[in-house]
Amino acid sequence: DPVVLSERLERLAHALDYDLGAAEPLLAELRAGVSGTPLEPEIATLATQVDRFAIDEALTQLNTLQERLKPAN
């Protein structure tokens, strides 16, 4: 569901900025939600970046992903 995915990505962006402890459960939700889809490798990379505390890289990738998923008007 694109709406649920977008909402989870938004919550993850907030967690990466303000509450790293909240990022792990959100990443687990995201990974479960994209399992078997073309987004699975991107979310896995994002999770790896967060695990390595490469927060700036993770935020950059997250922003790119959010832009790609925005509906075209």
Residue 2 scores a pLDDT above 90: no
Q: 7 or 1: which carries more pLDDT confidence?
A: 7
Is-above-0.85 flag for pTM?
yes
Q: How far is C-alpha 49 from the chain's CA centre?
A: 11
Q: What is the pLDDT of residue 73?
A: 63
Judge contact between 58 and 16, C-beta under 8 A: yes
pLDDT in tens, 8-64: 999 999 999 999 999 999 999 999 999 999 999 999 999 999 999 999 999 999 999
Residue 61 CA to residue 73 CA, distance in Å, equals: 23
Residue 71 scores a pLDDT above 90: no
